């Protein structure tokens, strides 16, 4: 069961453009993580957000956790070809012991 | 960060055979490991949660007799795909739970299974 819906599903943009990926759910999560995955490899953790309304920045990436801890967004400024990949959000249940992944956003940044 | 390994990275087998995939946490102990399945350009689907020393908890729709999971130690979990068929071909990924305040999980590099 996919508890987390990501949008858009696919995104192709030119180098230098900005973009936002959304991760939405009707469920409340104790924490939410964002991952980036390249073909044939496992996901790599980018960030974990825990507090409602929390904003974290990682260089050109800005992550926000919704006030109600049901949704999150990832904003990339001045995208680069190296940002190309599959972006996944994952929410941890209140027990903290189980994670459910979003539907995924495949990003392609064209040089 | 914590390191999780998987072996093998790729495996090709004939239909009807069984395949074992190992997941190891290399520099930390993992009381809980997770097994996921992923189709091309799709998200990860949780198959089961593996707890050390106890039976795995399978997600709805996942056949426990088809996908045997053993978590015999704090650093090793195995997934055995029994009597594999072409529809079992997929990318299988494990992750291990790092016991921290955020319960972060760390992923293995995945295993590409192709059943002929």
Residues of B in contact with A50 (CB under 8 A): 102
Express each pLDDT in A9-36 by its tens digit.
999 999 999 999 999 999 899 889 999 9
Residue B74 φ then ψ, to 5°: -75, -5
Nearest to B43 among A92, A97, A102 (CB): A102
Does position B101 have pLDDT exceeding 50, yes or no?
A: no
pLDDT of residue B99: 63
Task: Tokens 């990860």: give the residue.
Answer: B44
Cβ contact B43–A33 (<8 Å): no
Judged by average pLDDT, the poorest of A79-83, B51-55, B103-107 is: B103-107
Structure-token pair, residue B80: 């055995």
Express each pLDDT in B24-79 by its tens digit.
999 888 878 999 999 888 899 999 998 888 889 999 999 999 999 998 888 999 99
Across B74-96, average pLDDT: 95
Buried b (16+ CB within 10 A) or exposed e, A21-48: bbbbbeeebebbbbbbbeeebbbebbbb
Express each pLDDT in A53-64 by its tens digit.
999 999 999 999
User: Which CATH number is A105's domain given?
Assistant: 2.60.40.10
Cβ contact A98–B41 (<8 Å): no
Nearest to A100 among B46, B102, B106 (CB): B46
The boundaries of the domain holding residue A16 are 5-110
Does position B102 have pLDDT exceeding 70, yes or no?
A: no
Count: domains in chain A: 1
């Amino acid at each position: 069961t996919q508890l987390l819906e990501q949008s858009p599903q696919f995104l192709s943009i030119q180098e230098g453009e900005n973009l936002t990926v959304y991760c939405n759910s009707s469920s409340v999560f104790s924490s939410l993580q964002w991952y980036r995955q390249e073909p044939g490899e496992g996901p790599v953790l980018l960030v974990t957000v825990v507090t409602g309304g929390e904003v974290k920045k990682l260089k050109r990436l800005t992550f926000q956790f919704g006030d109600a801890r049901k949704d999150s967004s990832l904003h990339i400024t001045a995208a680069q070809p190296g940002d190309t990949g599959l972006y996944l959000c994952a929410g941890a249940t209140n027990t903290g012991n189980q994670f459910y992944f979003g539907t995924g956003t495949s990003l392609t940044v064209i040089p | 960060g914590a390191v999780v390994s998987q072996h093998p990275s790729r495996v090709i087998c004939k239909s009807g055979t069984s395949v074992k995939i190992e997941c190891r946490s290399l520099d930390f102990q993992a009381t809980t490991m997770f097994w996921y399945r992923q189709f091309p350009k799709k998200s990860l689907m949780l198959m089961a949660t593996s707890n050390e020393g106890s039976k795995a908890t399978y997600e709805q729709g996942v056949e426990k007799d088809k996908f045997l999971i053993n978590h015999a130690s704090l650093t090793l979990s195995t997934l055995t795909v029994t009597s594999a068929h072409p529809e079992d071909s997929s990318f299988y990924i494990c992750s291990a739970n790092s016991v921290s305040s955020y319960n972060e999980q760390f992923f293995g590099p995945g295993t590409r299974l192709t059943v002929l």
